[in-house]
Amino acid sequence: MDTYEVYTSEMAATEKLIKTASYSSTTARALTGVFAEQAQMAGWAAFDAGRYVESRRHYKAALSAAKESGDPGLEGNSLAFMAYEKADTRTAAESTRIAGVKATPRVRALLHERLAWTYAVSGQVSATARALDAAANAISEPSHFPEPDWVFWVDPLEIDIMAGRCYTELRRPACAVPLLDDALSRYDDTHSRDKALYSTWLAHALMDADDPERAAYVTEHAIDLASGVGSVRPGERLRGVLSRLSRYGGPEVAAVLERARG
């Protein structure tokens, strides 16, 4: 919630500057681009806090500003945020089309991995694989131009995490488990929000692989990581995992269910 308020405060300051200052057309495009980035981050922070009405409002503001800025990558990312929240395949595909081949490699990787997610949620196996391949190919390309600041976190590890999440959604544990095992082994526990969240997909994949004992172990560690995290998403995901675990027996499962109740 603190980050949400920081982003909305920055948005307000930039919006005031846009409305009251005098500047050239070049500066105008740059300022609207900054506002679009800030609106995207405010939308993401709202989404992460479970404030979905606010997140959608910010994403719409980001899309409008991105169009005005003339930055197709930024416009594509605004659409990708909207598509990710609603798992909207059409909007996600439009984001990759608008960004086009001229977008930098990390931007294209990000948009394609979010497209893959929407395909996975809708159960489209082949389309998911193609989008993941496009993301992996893009992230391996050298960048001949500076990458925008808003994709600093997009790297091969992020693509592997998304691939594991997608294959979990598609109920393909043979693909999902090794991807998530390897990726999460490279995540330090200090990244508690992300590691807790992504571990819930591993837990589901392990149950799909008929390994509830290990799923219970992963879930217990995710509960530890999520303790005190401001994001609502790990908790929401953990409730789904625990509900599914409750269908199994065994001491490991019983222990984590008792831990969750406590």
Per-residue pLDDT, averaged over 17-38, amounts to: 95
Percentage of the chain modeled with pLDDT above 90? 94
Token reading at 84: 């990710």
Which range has highest mean pLDDT (99-103, 120-124, 143-147)?
Answer: 120-124
**Cβ(168)–Cβ(117) under 8 Å?**
no
Q: Report the C-alpha dihedral over residues 3, 164, 79, 193, rounded to 10 degrees.
A: -10
Token reading at 209: 């692989």
Q: Does the structure show a pLDDT above 80 at 241?
A: yes
**Residue reference for tokens 């500076």:** 146
**Cβ(76)–Cβ(44) under 8 Å?**
no
Q: Check residue 67 and give its pLDDT.
A: 97
Q: Does the structure show a pLDDT above 60 at 238?
A: yes
Token reading at 75: 């416009």
pLDDT band at 114 (very low <50, low <70, confident <90, very high): very high
Distance in angstroms (rounded) separating the CA atoms of residues 213 and 110: 34
Q: For the beta carbon of residue 25, count every other beta carbon within 10 angstroms.
A: 7
* Torsions phi, psi for 170 (to 5 deg): -85, 0
Helix axes 212-226, 251-261, angle to 10 degrees: 20
pTM: 0.93
Residue from 248, 161, 154, 163 nearest 209 by CA = 248
